[in-house]
């Protein structure tokens, strides 16, 4: 678990089964109660089968999310806990049921485990939750949690200049833009890292790894495009395409070092099928989050009157975007092949406009992250 800091939003837990995986799992009942120790809330899912699940908490609008491999929910539930406000259940029809418990306060998962089936009981998935202790500072304010962490990735560098036009080099503009954007974001209290701070070559894989090492909540690769047609100008934003995602998922599942890419999942112990379901779940969430960021960016660009491509949000299989668990986007600030864009982007003052839109998109995105 060394890849995960204690603040990490995800608590991915995995139960592996040899015999029951193929059988249909039905949620029979959902029970909650506050334990006598007064600090623990226990959630029990009665299940017809023991199947794979993932579980994590979200602090923003406190919630506990359980994704469980199950075909059907027949669960009546009784909420006898003071911590739980309500339960929302969503069956995606593809064998995964998501249970979202809205909580009255920030909580952490104290433990989670299965209890065996016996004559009286079904299989029981037990989750013990505890309220996070409020740390009071001198100002009587809540101790801030881990700040939202962003890794900015200035494209290219070193031997690889990226696009070169009109004496401008993409690698220089991307580095300047990332540094300037960092200043804007630092002011907002986010934790901002750069994959490179100077003119050096960094492989795409290493860029992803830096984002992972920083425990990033968002990864933004910054580029400046170049095409033959000089008149093409404006910004665009890329997220990973479906097709690429699937291929990557398949490739990842085969790779021995997949554990490096998926925090908290020990692939050695995991049945391949279960593994790919979990990877898929995680990737789907990441993909949705990336797409939502892209849409926010596009609207901010429009609000700011900055020029964008006709379809500013596009999909492609950029290797740098393939982190399974970090929402990732690639922003093309404009076109170095267009004289106006080139001039615009190489000037700090005018470049600030697109960076302002980008920083506003980040602020909005952080706000909307609480929706599930």
Q: Which residues bind Zn ion (CB under 5 A)?
A: 155, 162, 223
- Minimum distance, C-beta of residue 356 to Zn ion, in the bound complex (Å): 21
- Angle made by CA atoms 67, 313, 166, in degrees to the nearest 5: 135
Using the minimum distance from each CB to Zn ion, give the nearer residue, 72 or 160. 160
Using the minimum distance from each CB to Zn ion, give the nearer residue, 64 or 181. 181
DSSP string across 191-220: EEEES-SSS----HHHHHHHHHHTT-SEEE
Max Cα-Cα span within the chain: 78
Using the minimum distance from each CB to Zn ion, give the nearer residue, 174 or 323. 174
- Minimum distance, C-beta of residue 235 to Zn ion, in the bound complex (Å): 13
CB 207 within 8 Å of CB 223? no
d(CA 48, CA 36) in angstroms, rounded, equals 28
- Minimum distance, C-beta of residue 190 to Zn ion, in the bound complex (Å): 24
Integer distance in angstroms from the first to the last C-alpha of the chain?
26
d(CA 101, CA 77) in angstroms, rounded, equals 12
Using the minimum distance from each CB to Zn ion, give the nearer residue, 278 or 333. 333
- Minimum distance, C-beta of residue 236 to Zn ion, in the bound complex (Å): 12
Residue ranges of E strands in 116-271 = 123-131, 149-154, 164-165, 168-169, 191-194, 218-225, 235-240
- Minimum distance, C-beta of residue 225 to Zn ion, in the bound complex (Å): 7
- Minimum distance, C-beta of residue 337 to Zn ion, in the bound complex (Å): 12
In the complex, which residue's CB is closest to Zn ion?
223
Residue 250, class by beta-carbon neighbours within 10 Å (0-12 exposed, 13-18 middle, 19+ buried)? exposed
d(CA 60, CA 28) in angstroms, rounded, equals 30
CB 191 within 8 Å of CB 150? yes
d(CA 299, CA 357) in angstroms, rounded, equals 9
Using the minimum distance from each CB to Zn ion, give the nearer residue, 11 or 168. 168
Using the minimum distance from each CB to Zn ion, give the nearer residue, 162 or 327. 162
- Minimum distance, C-beta of residue 163 to Zn ion, in the bound complex (Å): 6
Q: Which of 121, 126, 95 is nearest to 109 (CA)?
A: 126
Using the minimum distance from each CB to Zn ion, give the nearer residue, 241 or 276. 241
Using the minimum distance from each CB to Zn ion, give the nearer residue, 170 or 325. 170
d(CA 280, CA 246) in angstroms, rounded, equals 9
**How many Cβ atoms sit within 10 Å of the Cβ of residue 308?**
20
Using the minimum distance from each CB to Zn ion, give the nearer residue, 155 or 324. 155
- Minimum distance, C-beta of residue 291 to Zn ion, in the bound complex (Å): 21
- Minimum distance, C-beta of residue 155 to Zn ion, in the bound complex (Å): 4
């Amino acid at each position: 678990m060394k890849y995960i800091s204690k603040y990490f939003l995800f608590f991915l837990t995995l139960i592996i089964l040899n015999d029951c995986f193929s059988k249909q799992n039905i949620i029979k009942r959902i029970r909650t109660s506050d334990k006598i120790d007064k600090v623990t809330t226990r959630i029990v899912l009665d299940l017809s089968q023991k199947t794979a699940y993932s579980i994590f908490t979200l602090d923003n609008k406190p919630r506990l999310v359980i994704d469980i491999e199950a075909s059907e929910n027949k669960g009546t539930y009784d909420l006898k806990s003071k911590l739980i406000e309500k339960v929302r259940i969503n069956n995606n029809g593809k064998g995964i049921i998501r249970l979202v418990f809205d909580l009255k306060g920030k909580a952490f998962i104290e433990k989670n485990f299965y209890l065996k089936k016996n004559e009286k009981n079904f299989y029981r998935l037990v989750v013990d939750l505890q309220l996070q202790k409020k740390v009071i500072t001198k100002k009587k304010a809540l101790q801030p949690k881990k700040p939202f962490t962003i890794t900015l990735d200035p494209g290219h560098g070193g031997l690889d200049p990226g696009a070169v036009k009109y004496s401008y080099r993409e690698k220089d503009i991307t580095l300047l833009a990332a540094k300037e954007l960092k200043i804007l974001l630092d002011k907002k209290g986010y934790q901002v890292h750069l994959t490179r701070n100077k003119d050096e070559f960094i492989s795409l894989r290493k860029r992803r790894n830096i984002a992972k090492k920083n425990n990033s909540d968002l990864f933004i690769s910054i580029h400046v495009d170049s095409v033959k047609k000089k008149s093409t100008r404006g910004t665009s934003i890329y997220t990973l395409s479906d097709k690429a995602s699937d291929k990557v998922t398949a490739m990842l599942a085969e790779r021995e070092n997949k554990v490096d890419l998926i925090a908290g999942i020990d692939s050695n112990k995991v049945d391949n099928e279960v593994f790919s379901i979990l990877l898929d779940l995680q990737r789907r969430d990441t993909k949705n989050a990336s797409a939502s960021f892209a849409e926010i960016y596009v609207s901010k660009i429009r609000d700011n009157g900055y020029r964008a491509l006709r379809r500013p949000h596009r999909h492609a299989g950029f290797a740098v975007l393939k982190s399974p668990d970090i929402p990732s986007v690639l922003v093309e600030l404009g076109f170095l092949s267009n004289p106006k864009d080139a001039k615009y982007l190489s000037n700090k003052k005018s470049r600030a406009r697109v960076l302002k839109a980008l920083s506003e998109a980040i602020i909005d995105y952080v706000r909307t992250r609480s929706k599930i």
